[in-house]
Amino acid sequence: MMQDTMDTPQSDMASDAYLKQLKATFEQMPNDIVLYLFTAKGHEDAFTHANRQVIRAFRELSAKITLQEYDLDHELAKKWNITSSPTLLIAPEQYSIRWLGAPMGEEARTFLELLILVGLGKSQLSDQSLNVIKKIDSPRNVKVFVSPTCPYCPQQAVNAVKAAIELPQFVSLEIIDIQSEPELANQYAAQSVPQAFANDVLIGQGAQPEEVFVLSLQKLETRTIFIPDSDAELVETDLLIVGGGPAGLTAGIYAVRSGLRAAVVEREALGGQIATTPIVENYPGFTSVGGKTLVDIMVSHALQYVQIFQGEAVVDLQPDKPIGVLTTRRKFLTKSVLLATGATHRHLNVRGESRLSGRGVSYCSTCDGPLFRGKKVVMVGGGNSAVTEALHLFHMGVDVTLIHRRDKLRAQDFLAKQLADSNIPVLWDTAIEEIRGEERVEEILLVNNKTNQTDTFKTDGVFIAIGYSPALELAEKLGVEVNEDGYIKHDGKHRTNVPGVYSAGDVEGGYKQIVTASGQGAGAAMTIFEDLINPYWLN
Protein backbone atom coordinates (compact mmCIF):
# COMPACT_ATOMS: atom_id res chain seq x y z
CA MET A 1 0.00 0.00 0.00
CA MET A 2 1.27 3.47 -0.81
CA GLN A 3 2.12 5.74 2.07
CA ASP A 4 -0.33 8.60 2.54
CA THR A 5 1.85 11.66 1.79
CA MET A 6 -0.02 13.62 4.48
CA ASP A 7 1.17 11.21 7.18
CA THR A 8 3.87 12.41 9.52
CA PRO A 9 6.94 10.25 8.84
CA GLN A 10 7.74 7.85 11.68
CA SER A 11 11.20 9.35 12.23
CA ASP A 12 9.71 12.84 12.71
CA MET A 13 7.24 11.45 15.22
CA ALA A 14 10.07 9.72 17.08
CA SER A 15 12.17 12.88 17.22
CA ASP A 16 9.14 14.94 18.34
CA ALA A 17 8.57 12.48 21.17
CA TYR A 18 12.26 12.65 22.08
CA LEU A 19 12.23 16.46 22.16
CA LYS A 20 9.12 16.44 24.33
CA GLN A 21 10.81 14.06 26.73
CA LEU A 22 13.96 16.22 26.84
CA LYS A 23 11.92 19.34 27.56
CA ALA A 24 10.16 17.55 30.42
CA THR A 25 13.53 16.39 31.79
CA PHE A 26 14.88 19.96 31.85
CA GLU A 27 11.65 21.27 33.40
CA GLN A 28 12.05 18.93 36.38
CA MET A 29 15.62 20.00 37.07
CA PRO A 30 16.25 21.97 40.22
CA ASN A 31 19.08 24.18 38.87
CA ASP A 32 19.39 26.92 36.27
CA ILE A 33 22.23 26.38 33.81
CA VAL A 34 24.23 29.51 33.14
CA LEU A 35 26.55 29.53 30.14
CA TYR A 36 29.18 32.19 29.42
CA LEU A 37 30.63 32.43 25.93
CA PHE A 38 33.87 34.39 25.49
CA THR A 39 34.97 35.35 21.99
CA ALA A 40 37.53 37.63 20.37
CA LYS A 41 36.00 41.01 19.51
CA GLY A 42 34.63 41.19 15.96
CA HIS A 43 35.97 37.73 15.15
CA GLU A 44 33.22 35.38 13.99
CA ASP A 45 34.88 32.05 13.23
CA ALA A 46 33.22 28.67 12.54
CA PHE A 47 33.57 27.55 16.15
CA THR A 48 31.95 30.71 17.54
CA HIS A 49 29.14 30.36 15.03
CA ALA A 50 28.69 26.68 15.95
CA ASN A 51 28.58 27.51 19.67
CA ARG A 52 25.79 30.02 19.11
CA GLN A 53 23.83 27.58 16.96
CA VAL A 54 24.17 24.65 19.38
CA ILE A 55 23.36 26.76 22.42
CA ARG A 56 20.35 28.29 20.66
CA ALA A 57 19.03 24.80 19.92
CA PHE A 58 19.42 23.74 23.55
CA ARG A 59 17.91 26.97 24.86
CA GLU A 60 14.78 26.19 22.88
CA LEU A 61 14.40 23.16 25.11
CA SER A 62 14.38 25.06 28.37
CA ALA A 63 14.28 28.59 29.74
CA LYS A 64 16.56 27.34 32.51
CA ILE A 65 19.50 27.51 30.10
CA THR A 66 20.78 31.07 29.77
CA LEU A 67 23.68 32.47 27.78
CA GLN A 68 25.82 35.51 28.45
CA GLU A 69 28.38 36.61 25.88
CA TYR A 70 31.53 38.63 26.51
CA ASP A 71 34.63 39.75 24.68
CA LEU A 72 37.96 38.33 25.67
CA ASP A 73 39.00 41.72 27.10
CA HIS A 74 36.06 41.81 29.53
CA GLU A 75 36.96 41.76 33.23
CA LEU A 76 35.18 38.40 33.66
CA ALA A 77 37.61 36.91 31.13
CA LYS A 78 40.45 38.13 33.34
CA LYS A 79 38.72 36.85 36.48
CA TRP A 80 38.43 33.36 35.01
CA ASN A 81 41.73 33.54 33.16
CA ILE A 82 40.26 33.08 29.68
CA THR A 83 42.59 33.72 26.77
CA SER A 84 41.24 31.55 23.99
CA SER A 85 38.37 32.26 21.58
CA PRO A 86 35.81 30.78 21.72
CA THR A 87 35.71 29.54 25.31
CA LEU A 88 32.45 28.37 26.82
CA LEU A 89 32.09 28.27 30.61
CA ILE A 90 29.40 26.12 32.12
CA ALA A 91 27.94 27.21 35.47
CA PRO A 92 31.27 28.80 36.54
CA GLU A 93 29.91 29.85 39.95
CA GLN A 94 29.53 26.17 40.88
CA TYR A 95 32.03 24.26 38.72
CA SER A 96 35.25 24.72 36.85
CA ILE A 97 34.23 23.33 33.45
CA ARG A 98 35.19 25.01 30.21
CA TRP A 99 34.92 24.09 26.57
CA LEU A 100 37.58 25.29 24.14
CA GLY A 101 36.00 25.11 20.69
CA ALA A 102 32.37 24.12 20.27
CA PRO A 103 30.18 21.11 21.14
CA MET A 104 29.58 20.06 17.54
CA GLY A 105 28.92 16.65 15.96
CA GLU A 106 29.42 13.75 18.35
CA GLU A 107 30.28 16.26 21.07
CA ALA A 108 26.68 17.47 21.20
CA ARG A 109 26.03 14.23 23.14
CA THR A 110 28.61 15.24 25.74
CA PHE A 111 27.10 18.72 25.92
CA LEU A 112 23.59 17.39 26.46
CA GLU A 113 24.76 15.11 29.27
CA LEU A 114 26.76 17.97 30.77
CA LEU A 115 23.71 20.26 30.80
CA ILE A 116 21.56 17.55 32.40
CA LEU A 117 24.12 16.80 35.13
CA VAL A 118 24.61 20.51 35.90
CA GLY A 119 20.83 20.98 35.92
CA LEU A 120 20.49 18.09 38.36
CA GLY A 121 23.52 19.21 40.38
CA LYS A 122 24.59 15.55 40.58
CA SER A 123 27.51 13.68 39.05
CA GLN A 124 25.62 10.38 38.74
CA LEU A 125 28.91 8.55 39.20
CA SER A 126 28.45 4.88 40.07
CA ASP A 127 28.90 3.75 43.67
CA GLN A 128 32.14 2.05 42.64
CA SER A 129 33.49 5.31 41.16
CA LEU A 130 32.37 7.30 44.22
CA ASN A 131 34.36 4.97 46.48
CA VAL A 132 37.49 5.85 44.50
CA ILE A 133 36.96 9.54 43.80
CA LYS A 134 36.46 10.34 47.48
CA LYS A 135 40.14 9.47 48.00
CA ILE A 136 41.19 12.49 45.90
CA ASP A 137 42.32 15.26 48.24
CA SER A 138 44.38 17.55 45.99
CA PRO A 139 43.77 19.48 42.74
CA ARG A 140 43.36 17.70 39.41
CA ASN A 141 43.51 19.92 36.33
CA VAL A 142 41.96 17.74 33.66
CA LYS A 143 42.23 18.25 29.91
CA VAL A 144 40.29 16.00 27.53
CA PHE A 145 41.10 16.38 23.83
CA VAL A 146 38.13 15.55 21.60
CA SER A 147 36.92 15.96 18.03
CA PRO A 148 33.39 16.24 16.60
CA THR A 149 33.85 13.14 14.43
CA CYS A 150 35.02 10.82 17.21
CA PRO A 151 32.38 8.38 18.49
CA TYR A 152 34.63 7.35 21.41
CA CYS A 153 35.07 10.90 22.72
CA PRO A 154 31.74 11.54 24.49
CA GLN A 155 32.30 8.59 26.84
CA GLN A 156 35.66 9.94 28.03
CA ALA A 157 34.54 13.58 28.14
CA VAL A 158 31.45 12.65 30.19
CA ASN A 159 33.65 10.68 32.62
CA ALA A 160 35.62 13.89 33.21
CA VAL A 161 32.46 16.02 33.48
CA LYS A 162 31.13 13.71 36.20
CA ALA A 163 34.40 14.01 38.13
CA ALA A 164 34.30 17.83 37.85
CA ILE A 165 30.71 17.90 39.14
CA GLU A 166 31.38 15.47 41.97
CA LEU A 167 34.51 17.21 43.26
CA PRO A 168 34.30 20.90 42.24
CA GLN A 169 36.75 21.83 44.98
CA PHE A 170 39.53 19.72 43.39
CA VAL A 171 38.68 18.89 39.78
CA SER A 172 38.81 21.54 37.06
CA LEU A 173 38.09 20.47 33.49
CA GLU A 174 38.85 21.71 29.99
CA ILE A 175 37.21 19.89 27.09
CA ILE A 176 39.37 20.82 24.13
CA ASP A 177 38.32 20.51 20.51
CA ILE A 178 41.56 19.50 18.89
CA GLN A 179 40.76 21.35 15.66
CA SER A 180 39.91 24.60 17.40
CA GLU A 181 43.08 24.43 19.54
CA PRO A 182 45.76 22.91 17.27
CA GLU A 183 48.59 24.64 19.16
CA LEU A 184 47.48 23.29 22.51
CA ALA A 185 47.06 19.83 20.95
CA ASN A 186 50.57 20.20 19.54
CA GLN A 187 51.94 21.21 22.92
CA TYR A 188 50.57 17.95 24.39
CA ALA A 189 51.50 16.05 21.19
CA ALA A 190 47.85 14.92 21.19
CA GLN A 191 47.18 13.76 17.64
CA SER A 192 44.50 11.21 18.34
CA VAL A 193 41.31 11.52 20.31
CA PRO A 194 40.18 11.10 22.98
CA GLN A 195 43.20 11.73 25.17
CA ALA A 196 42.87 12.73 28.81
CA PHE A 197 45.53 14.46 30.89
CA ALA A 198 45.43 15.31 34.59
CA ASN A 199 48.04 17.72 35.97
CA ASP A 200 49.76 17.30 32.57
CA VAL A 201 50.10 13.52 32.99
CA LEU A 202 48.48 11.30 30.33
CA ILE A 203 45.85 9.30 32.25
CA GLY A 204 43.87 7.83 29.38
CA GLN A 205 44.24 7.29 25.65
CA GLY A 206 40.91 6.22 24.12
CA ALA A 207 37.62 5.86 25.96
CA GLN A 208 37.86 4.30 29.40
CA PRO A 209 35.05 2.72 31.43
CA GLU A 210 34.00 5.30 34.04
CA GLU A 211 35.54 3.45 36.98
CA VAL A 212 38.86 3.00 35.14
CA PHE A 213 38.94 6.74 34.34
CA VAL A 214 38.24 7.69 37.95
CA LEU A 215 40.95 5.34 39.20
CA SER A 216 43.44 6.79 36.67
CA LEU A 217 42.46 10.28 37.82
CA GLN A 218 43.01 9.39 41.45
CA LYS A 219 46.34 7.62 40.85
CA LEU A 220 47.51 10.17 38.23
CA GLU A 221 48.60 7.39 35.88
CA THR A 222 46.97 5.37 33.11
CA ARG A 223 45.12 2.42 34.57
CA THR A 224 43.50 -0.20 32.37
CA ILE A 225 41.59 -2.36 34.81
CA PHE A 226 39.21 -1.84 37.72
CA ILE A 227 37.89 -4.63 39.93
CA PRO A 228 34.69 -3.62 41.71
CA ASP A 229 34.21 -4.03 45.48
CA SER A 230 32.31 -7.06 46.71
CA ASP A 231 29.15 -4.96 47.22
CA ALA A 232 28.73 -4.53 43.43
CA GLU A 233 25.09 -4.59 42.29
CA LEU A 234 23.75 -8.04 41.32
CA VAL A 235 21.71 -8.52 38.11
CA GLU A 236 20.08 -11.79 37.01
CA THR A 237 19.55 -12.54 33.32
CA ASP A 238 18.82 -15.46 31.03
CA LEU A 239 21.32 -14.16 28.50
CA LEU A 240 24.21 -11.75 28.88
CA ILE A 241 25.56 -10.48 25.57
CA VAL A 242 29.13 -9.22 25.68
CA GLY A 243 29.72 -6.74 22.87
CA GLY A 244 27.48 -4.03 21.40
CA GLY A 245 28.32 -4.36 17.70
CA PRO A 246 25.83 -5.51 15.05
CA ALA A 247 25.98 -9.15 16.26
CA GLY A 248 25.34 -8.25 19.92
CA LEU A 249 22.64 -5.67 19.21
CA THR A 250 20.76 -7.98 16.84
CA ALA A 251 21.01 -10.85 19.34
CA GLY A 252 19.54 -8.52 22.00
CA ILE A 253 16.53 -7.72 19.81
CA TYR A 254 15.90 -11.38 18.97
CA ALA A 255 16.42 -12.65 22.52
CA VAL A 256 14.05 -10.21 24.20
CA ARG A 257 11.43 -10.67 21.51
CA SER A 258 11.62 -14.42 22.27
CA GLY A 259 10.88 -13.69 25.90
CA LEU A 260 14.39 -13.96 27.38
CA ARG A 261 15.67 -11.56 30.04
CA ALA A 262 18.74 -10.24 28.22
CA ALA A 263 21.27 -7.44 28.59
CA VAL A 264 24.17 -6.14 26.49
CA VAL A 265 27.47 -5.00 27.99
CA GLU A 266 29.83 -2.86 25.88
CA ARG A 267 33.01 -1.27 27.20
CA GLU A 268 33.53 1.22 24.37
CA ALA A 269 31.41 2.85 21.68
CA LEU A 270 28.35 0.90 20.57
CA GLY A 271 28.41 -0.38 17.00
CA GLY A 272 31.92 -1.82 17.08
CA GLN A 273 33.86 -1.26 13.88
CA ILE A 274 30.89 0.34 12.09
CA ALA A 275 31.00 3.30 14.46
CA THR A 276 34.21 4.40 12.78
CA THR A 277 33.46 3.26 9.22
CA PRO A 278 33.07 6.44 7.16
CA ILE A 279 30.53 5.12 4.65
CA VAL A 280 28.66 1.81 4.36
CA GLU A 281 27.38 0.98 0.88
CA ASN A 282 26.46 -2.72 1.15
CA TYR A 283 23.98 -2.96 4.01
CA PRO A 284 20.61 -3.81 2.48
CA GLY A 285 18.08 -1.02 2.69
CA PHE A 286 20.74 1.71 2.57
CA THR A 287 22.48 2.53 -0.71
CA SER A 288 24.95 4.69 1.19
CA VAL A 289 24.92 5.50 4.89
CA GLY A 290 27.45 6.89 7.35
CA GLY A 291 28.69 4.12 9.68
CA LYS A 292 27.81 6.14 12.79
CA THR A 293 24.34 6.92 11.43
CA LEU A 294 23.72 3.21 10.88
CA VAL A 295 24.89 2.53 14.44
CA ASP A 296 22.52 5.15 15.86
CA ILE A 297 19.61 3.56 13.99
CA MET A 298 20.56 0.05 15.20
CA VAL A 299 21.07 1.20 18.78
CA SER A 300 17.75 3.02 19.01
CA HIS A 301 16.06 -0.09 17.60
CA ALA A 302 17.84 -2.38 20.08
CA LEU A 303 16.99 -0.07 22.99
CA GLN A 304 13.31 -0.66 22.32
CA TYR A 305 13.91 -4.18 23.60
CA VAL A 306 17.16 -4.79 25.41
CA GLN A 307 18.94 -3.09 28.27
CA ILE A 308 22.40 -1.86 27.24
CA PHE A 309 25.17 -1.25 29.77
CA GLN A 310 27.59 0.92 27.82
CA GLY A 311 31.00 1.98 29.15
CA GLU A 312 31.21 -1.13 31.33
CA ALA A 313 34.02 -3.66 30.83
CA VAL A 314 33.83 -7.35 31.71
CA VAL A 315 36.70 -8.14 34.07
CA ASP A 316 35.98 -11.75 34.99
CA LEU A 317 33.73 -14.70 34.12
CA GLN A 318 33.10 -17.89 36.09
CA PRO A 319 31.58 -20.81 34.13
CA ASP A 320 29.38 -21.98 37.03
CA LYS A 321 25.63 -22.52 37.01
CA PRO A 322 24.55 -19.76 36.76
CA ILE A 323 27.51 -18.20 34.99
CA GLY A 324 28.98 -15.27 36.95
CA VAL A 325 30.11 -12.24 34.95
CA LEU A 326 31.84 -9.44 36.80
CA THR A 327 32.00 -6.03 35.11
CA THR A 328 33.68 -2.85 36.31
CA ARG A 329 30.36 -1.92 37.93
CA ARG A 330 28.18 -4.95 38.72
CA LYS A 331 27.87 -8.72 38.80
CA PHE A 332 25.61 -10.64 36.45
CA LEU A 333 24.32 -14.11 37.24
CA THR A 334 23.17 -15.50 33.93
CA LYS A 335 22.01 -18.76 32.40
CA SER A 336 23.92 -18.10 29.17
CA VAL A 337 26.58 -15.80 27.73
CA LEU A 338 26.94 -14.71 24.12
CA LEU A 339 30.47 -13.67 23.19
CA ALA A 340 30.02 -11.03 20.49
CA THR A 341 33.31 -9.39 21.36
CA GLY A 342 34.30 -8.65 17.76
CA ALA A 343 37.86 -7.99 16.78
CA THR A 344 40.60 -5.51 17.54
CA HIS A 345 42.66 -3.74 14.89
CA ARG A 346 45.96 -5.36 13.98
CA HIS A 347 49.25 -3.64 14.62
CA LEU A 348 52.13 -3.46 12.15
CA ASN A 349 54.54 -4.34 14.95
CA VAL A 350 57.33 -2.15 13.65
CA ARG A 351 59.69 0.12 15.54
CA GLY A 352 58.13 3.44 16.56
CA GLU A 353 54.51 2.27 16.13
CA SER A 354 53.51 2.00 19.78
CA ARG A 355 55.70 4.92 20.96
CA LEU A 356 54.10 7.25 18.38
CA SER A 357 50.55 5.90 18.77
CA GLY A 358 48.35 8.96 19.27
CA ARG A 359 51.30 11.07 18.10
CA GLY A 360 50.59 10.62 14.40
CA VAL A 361 50.06 6.86 14.32
CA SER A 362 46.32 6.24 14.15
CA TYR A 363 43.92 3.34 13.66
CA CYS A 364 40.82 5.55 13.22
CA SER A 365 40.61 7.86 10.23
CA THR A 366 37.09 8.92 11.19
CA CYS A 367 38.26 10.12 14.62
CA ASP A 368 41.65 11.56 13.77
CA GLY A 369 41.47 12.31 10.03
CA PRO A 370 40.27 15.92 10.43
CA LEU A 371 43.46 16.78 12.34
CA PHE A 372 45.48 16.07 9.21
CA ARG A 373 43.59 18.30 6.74
CA GLY A 374 46.14 19.90 4.43
CA LYS A 375 48.84 17.56 5.76
CA LYS A 376 50.55 14.53 4.32
CA VAL A 377 49.72 11.02 5.60
CA VAL A 378 50.02 7.41 4.53
CA MET A 379 47.34 4.74 4.79
CA VAL A 380 48.68 1.21 5.21
CA GLY A 381 46.73 -1.81 3.92
CA GLY A 382 45.09 -3.10 0.77
CA GLY A 383 41.69 -4.30 2.00
CA ASN A 384 38.24 -2.72 2.00
CA SER A 385 38.99 -0.78 5.19
CA ALA A 386 42.23 0.79 3.96
CA VAL A 387 40.73 1.82 0.62
CA THR A 388 37.46 3.15 2.14
CA GLU A 389 39.45 5.14 4.69
CA ALA A 390 41.99 6.44 2.15
CA LEU A 391 39.07 7.76 0.09
CA HIS A 392 37.55 9.30 3.21
CA LEU A 393 40.81 11.11 4.06
CA PHE A 394 41.21 12.25 0.45
CA HIS A 395 37.69 13.70 0.38
CA MET A 396 38.29 15.65 3.58
CA GLY A 397 41.37 17.33 2.11
CA VAL A 398 44.16 15.16 3.47
CA ASP A 399 47.12 14.44 1.15
CA VAL A 400 47.04 10.65 1.42
CA THR A 401 49.25 7.94 -0.13
CA LEU A 402 48.24 4.28 0.10
CA ILE A 403 50.96 1.77 0.97
CA HIS A 404 50.30 -1.88 0.16
CA ARG A 405 52.63 -4.83 0.61
CA ARG A 406 51.59 -6.55 -2.66
CA ASP A 407 50.89 -5.41 -6.23
CA LYS A 408 47.17 -6.19 -6.08
CA LEU A 409 44.50 -4.88 -3.75
CA ARG A 410 42.40 -7.20 -1.64
CA ALA A 411 39.61 -4.58 -1.68
CA GLN A 412 36.49 -5.06 -3.82
CA ASP A 413 36.75 -3.87 -7.44
CA PHE A 414 34.16 -1.18 -6.83
CA LEU A 415 36.41 0.44 -4.21
CA ALA A 416 39.61 -0.15 -6.20
CA LYS A 417 38.04 1.75 -9.11
CA GLN A 418 37.11 4.68 -6.86
CA LEU A 419 40.69 4.74 -5.61
CA ALA A 420 42.09 4.81 -9.14
CA ASP A 421 39.57 7.47 -10.23
CA SER A 422 40.59 9.77 -7.40
CA ASN A 423 44.29 9.51 -8.36
CA ILE A 424 45.36 8.69 -4.82
CA PRO A 425 49.03 7.64 -5.15
CA VAL A 426 49.77 4.01 -4.25
CA LEU A 427 53.15 2.62 -3.25
CA TRP A 428 52.90 -1.02 -4.35
CA ASP A 429 54.96 -3.93 -2.99
CA THR A 430 55.98 -1.71 -0.13
CA ALA A 431 56.24 -2.32 3.61
CA ILE A 432 56.95 0.03 6.50
CA GLU A 433 60.05 -0.98 8.44
CA GLU A 434 60.09 1.83 10.99
CA ILE A 435 58.09 4.88 12.02
CA ARG A 436 60.34 7.76 13.06
CA GLY A 437 59.94 11.03 14.91
CA GLU A 438 60.82 12.63 18.25
CA GLU A 439 57.55 13.94 19.68
CA ARG A 440 55.37 13.00 16.70
CA VAL A 441 55.57 11.15 13.39
CA GLU A 442 58.03 12.76 10.98
CA GLU A 443 59.03 10.07 8.51
CA ILE A 444 58.84 6.35 7.75
CA LEU A 445 61.42 3.89 6.55
CA LEU A 446 60.10 1.89 3.59
CA VAL A 447 61.30 -1.26 1.92
CA ASN A 448 60.32 -2.51 -1.52
CA ASN A 449 59.34 -6.14 -1.12
CA LYS A 450 60.47 -7.05 -4.63
CA THR A 451 63.81 -5.20 -4.87
CA ASN A 452 64.64 -4.92 -1.12
CA GLN A 453 65.50 -1.29 -1.77
CA THR A 454 64.91 0.99 1.25
CA ASP A 455 63.83 4.59 1.24
CA THR A 456 62.57 7.25 3.64
CA PHE A 457 59.25 9.03 3.17
CA LYS A 458 58.32 12.26 4.96
CA THR A 459 54.83 12.11 6.48
CA ASP A 460 52.81 13.72 9.27
CA GLY A 461 50.66 10.68 9.95
CA VAL A 462 50.52 6.91 9.57
CA PHE A 463 47.01 5.45 9.40
CA ILE A 464 46.95 1.68 9.78
CA ALA A 465 44.08 -0.49 8.46
CA ILE A 466 45.56 -3.96 8.03
CA GLY A 467 42.68 -6.04 9.30
CA TYR A 468 41.49 -7.27 12.66
CA SER A 469 42.27 -10.06 15.10
CA PRO A 470 39.45 -11.72 17.05
CA ALA A 471 39.03 -10.39 20.61
CA LEU A 472 39.47 -13.66 22.51
CA GLU A 473 40.46 -12.55 26.00
CA LEU A 474 37.13 -13.47 27.59
CA ALA A 475 36.79 -16.67 25.55
CA GLU A 476 40.18 -17.76 26.88
CA LYS A 477 39.12 -17.01 30.47
CA LEU A 478 36.14 -19.34 29.99
CA GLY A 479 38.17 -22.12 28.35
CA VAL A 480 36.44 -21.71 24.98
CA GLU A 481 38.22 -23.55 22.16
CA VAL A 482 39.38 -21.77 18.99
CA ASN A 483 39.69 -23.20 15.47
CA GLU A 484 42.85 -23.51 13.35
CA ASP A 485 42.35 -19.93 12.06
CA GLY A 486 42.27 -18.58 15.60
CA TYR A 487 38.53 -17.80 15.74
CA ILE A 488 36.02 -19.20 18.26
CA LYS A 489 35.12 -22.78 17.37
CA HIS A 490 31.38 -23.47 17.36
CA ASP A 491 29.00 -26.23 16.28
CA GLY A 492 27.40 -24.34 13.37
CA LYS A 493 24.62 -23.11 15.69
CA HIS A 494 26.92 -20.79 17.66
CA ARG A 495 27.40 -23.16 20.63
CA THR A 496 30.98 -23.26 21.91
CA ASN A 497 32.51 -26.19 23.79
CA VAL A 498 31.54 -24.58 27.13
CA PRO A 499 27.87 -25.27 28.03
CA GLY A 500 25.86 -22.05 28.11
CA VAL A 501 28.50 -20.05 26.21
CA TYR A 502 27.83 -19.00 22.59
CA SER A 503 29.54 -16.85 19.96
CA ALA A 504 28.50 -14.53 17.13
CA GLY A 505 30.02 -11.97 14.78
CA ASP A 506 33.65 -11.31 13.87
CA VAL A 507 34.96 -13.31 16.84
CA GLU A 508 33.69 -16.40 14.97
CA GLY A 509 35.44 -15.41 11.72
CA GLY A 510 33.61 -15.95 8.44
CA TYR A 511 32.72 -13.16 6.03
CA LYS A 512 32.99 -10.31 8.57
CA GLN A 513 30.36 -8.08 7.04
CA ILE A 514 27.81 -6.04 9.00
CA VAL A 515 24.98 -8.02 7.51
CA THR A 516 26.59 -11.40 8.30
CA ALA A 517 27.42 -10.32 11.86
CA SER A 518 23.76 -9.36 12.37
CA GLY A 519 22.73 -12.73 10.93
CA GLN A 520 25.08 -14.55 13.30
CA GLY A 521 23.64 -12.58 16.25
CA ALA A 522 20.07 -13.46 15.27
CA GLY A 523 20.99 -17.13 14.80
CA ALA A 524 22.77 -17.31 18.13
CA ALA A 525 19.82 -15.73 19.98
CA MET A 526 17.44 -18.29 18.45
CA THR A 527 19.72 -21.19 19.41
CA ILE A 528 20.02 -19.85 22.95
CA PHE A 529 16.25 -19.55 23.25
CA GLU A 530 15.82 -23.16 22.08
CA ASP A 531 18.55 -24.38 24.45
CA LEU A 532 17.13 -22.62 27.49
CA ILE A 533 13.70 -24.12 26.80
CA ASN A 534 15.19 -27.55 26.12
CA PRO A 535 18.76 -27.66 27.51
CA TYR A 536 20.94 -29.82 25.25
CA TRP A 537 23.44 -30.36 28.07
CA LEU A 538 20.80 -32.26 30.08
CA ASN A 539 20.01 -34.69 27.25
With a CB cutoff of 8 Å and minimum separation 6, the contacts of 283 are 289, 294, 514, 515
Should residue 256 be labelled a site residue for ligand NAP when binding is judged by CB under 6 A? no
Q: Which stretch binds ligand NAP (CB under 6 A): 74-82, 127-135, 284-292, 383-391?
A: 383-391
Should residue 518 be labelled a site residue for ligand NAP when binding is judged by CB under 6 A? no
320 classed as catalytic = no
Contact 351, 444 (CB under 8 A): no
Should residue 351 be labelled a site residue for ligand NAP when binding is judged by CB under 6 A? no
Should residue 392 be labelled a site residue for ligand NAP when binding is judged by CB under 6 A? no
Should residue 180 be labelled a site residue for ligand NAP when binding is judged by CB under 6 A? no
364 classed as catalytic = yes
- What is the x/- site pattern for ligand NAP, positions 395-424, by CB under 6 A? ----------xx---x--------------
Q: Which of 247, 251, 269, 233 is nearest to 151 (CA)?
A: 269
Q: Which of 45, 46, 52 is nearest to 69 (CA)?
A: 52
Contact 215, 309 (CB under 8 A): no
Distance of closest approach, residue 422 Cβ to ligand NAP, in angstroms? 16
Distance of closest approach, residue 486 Cβ to ligand NAP, in angstroms? 13
Applying CB under 6 A, the site for ligand NAP has a residue count of: 21
Task: Using CB under 6 A, pick the residue from 333, 383, 442, 515 that binds ligand NAP.
Answer: 383
455 classed as catalytic = no
- Bridge partners of residue 71, in order along the sequence: 39
- At residue 304, the 3 state secondary structure works out as coil
Catalytic residue among 153, 177, 238, 368: 368
Nearest residue to ligand NAP, scored by beta-carbon proximity = 383
Should residue 465 be labelled a site residue for ligand NAP when binding is judged by CB under 6 A? yes
Distance of closest approach, residue 55 Cβ to ligand NAP, in angstroms? 37
Distance of closest approach, residue 289 Cβ to ligand NAP, in angstroms? 11
For residue 532, give Cα distances in angstroms to 69, 336, 491.
60, 8, 17
With a CB cutoff of 8 Å and minimum separation 6, the contacts of 57 are none
Where does 304-401 have alpha helices with state H?
A: 365-368, 384-395
Should residue 354 be labelled a site residue for ligand NAP when binding is judged by CB under 6 A? no
Task: Using CB under 6 A, pick the residue from 191, 384, 520, 527 that binds ligand NAP.
Answer: 384
Q: 190 vs 432, which CB is nearer to ligand NAP?
A: 432
Q: Which of 77, 96, 71, 200 is nearest to 145 (CA)?
A: 200
Should residue 156 be labelled a site residue for ligand NAP when binding is judged by CB under 6 A? no
Bond into 322 cis (ω within 30)? yes
Distance of closest approach, residue 220 Cβ to ligand NAP, in angstroms? 35
Taking 3-state DSSP, the helix, strand and coil percentages for the chain, each rounded to the nearest 5, stand at 35, 25, 40
Length of the chain: 539
Question: Which residues are designated catalytic?
Answer: 364, 367-368
The binding site for ligand NAP (CB under 6 A) comprises 281-282, 346, 348, 380-386, 388, 405-406, 410, 465-468, 512-513
